[in-house]
Chain A
C-alpha cells in the first residue's frame, strides 16, 4: 500500500525566511506532484516531477525529487504573505492508471 507523508503539517513562517516542506512516499512511483490550495478553493497544480534529480522552480518555490530516497522537497525562499496556503504532494503509484495518493497537506501561514 502506498503511503505519502508530509511534514510538517503546520508551518508558521515570518516573511523573508526560508523553509522546506518534505514529502516521503513508501513505494516506487513514476511521478510526483505538488499542488496548492487556498482556503475554500480548489487545488492548483504547481509542479510535476518526472525523474530522479528533477528540480523545478517557480518564483519563490522550488521542488525537487530524489526517487532513491523516495523523497520530494518543496523549498520556500524569502516567504511572502501571498504564499500562505495548504500545499499537497501527491504520488502516482506505478501502474495505477494515474490514481494519485495525496499527503495530508502542509498548512503554511506566512506572517509579517
Chain B
C-alpha cells in the first residue's frame, strides 16, 4: 500500500530488552523522522534522516539508535528499554523542495509500553 506504515502498532516489553520499531514509506521521500508523543510534552523529535546513510540527533536521542540503509526504511531501536520510554512513537517523512522541507506525513504510530 502507498504511504507510510509502522510496525508493530502495539508493543509491550520489559525493562532492559532491545526493541526495534519499523517505519516504511513508499513515496521515496528524502527525509524521515522519528517522534515520541507524551502527555504534557507534545511531540518531540528523536532522530531524523536526510537521506540513506545520513542520520542526525533530534531533541531527545538518548537511549535510541537509528539506521537508514535504504531510502524507504527508517528503523528505530531502543537498545535497553526503560520505563521512561513508554510512549507513542510516530514516524514521518517529507520531501525537500526549493531548498525547504515540505509538509511531513505521519505514520499511524506505535504504542510502546515498557514494564
Q: Are A42 and B90 in contact (CB under 8 A)?
A: yes
Q: Enumerate A27-65 residues with CB–CB distance to B below 8 Å.
A: 30-31, 33, 35, 41-45, 48
Q: Are B41 and A99 in contact (CB under 8 A)?
A: no
Known contacts A31-B101, A92-B100, A99 near B58 by CB under 8 Å? yes
> Cα distance A18–B42 when bound, in Å?
25
> Cα distance A102–B38 when bound, in Å?
12
Interface residues on B, range: 20 to 34
> Cα distance A99–B33 when bound, in Å?
8
Known contacts A31-B100, A97-B31, A97-B50, A104 near B106 by CB under 8 Å? no
A76 at the binding interface (Cβ < 8 Å): no
Q: Are B101 and A98 in contact (CB under 8 A)?
A: yes
Known contacts A43-B90, A97-B48, A99-B48, A33 near B100 by CB under 8 Å? no
Per DSSP, chain B at the interface is: strand
Indicate with 1 or 0, residue by residue over A67-109, a CB within 8 angstroms of chain B CB atoms.
0000000000000000000001010100001111011110000
> Cα distance A104–B44 when bound, in Å?
10
The 7 A-B pairs at the shortest CB distance, nearest first, are namely A98-B101, A104-B42, A102-B43, A43-B106, A42-B106, A45-B103, A102-B42
16 contacts between A and B (CB under 8 A): A42-B107, A42-B108, A43-B90, A43-B92, A45-B105, A88-B42, A90-B43, A92-B101, A97-B48, A97-B101, A98-B31, A98-B33, A98-B96, A102-B42, A102-B44, A104-B42
